Amino acid sequence: MIKLSLLAISTYMTDPYTNPNTGEETPSRKRIQGLLDKPMKNGSIKKELVDITVKDEVFAKHQNSVGKTIELEVGYFGKNVTFFGI
């Protein structure tokens, strides 16, 4: 787990998804979209847009934080890092 600081751009819910082959439905998820400062090897900073799936209580806490810098506790996975809320 790491703490991520980012500029909140928006909060939204994904659409539910139904698998056309099995009929299995995946419910909608709550996400926070934000800009993350990513340090580059040459010392410059790149702004990177990230979408982070979060729990209901984290979503409710930050729903009105658009335009503000927030901190989220996240986990991550993959070669090209993908964050998820904890």
Report how far residue 11's alpha carbon sits from residue 33's, in angstroms, rounded to the nearest whole number: 6
As to burial, measured by CB atoms within 10 angstroms (0-12 exposed, 13-18 middle, 19+ buried), residue 86 is middle
What SS3 state is found at 64? coil
The residues, any chain, with a CB within 8 Å of residue 8's CB and separated by 6 or more, are: 32, 33, 34, 62, 65, 66, 67, 68, 69, 70
Report the share of the chain in percent with pLDDT over 70. Answer: 92
> What pLDDT, on the 0 to 100 scale, is given for residue 38?
87
Q: What is the pTM of this model?
A: 0.79
Q: Which fold has domain 2-16+26-85?
A: OB fold (Dihydrolipoamide Acetyltransferase, E2P) (2.40.50)
pLDDT tens digits for range 37-79: 988 999 999 999 999 999 999 999 999 999 999 999 988 776 6
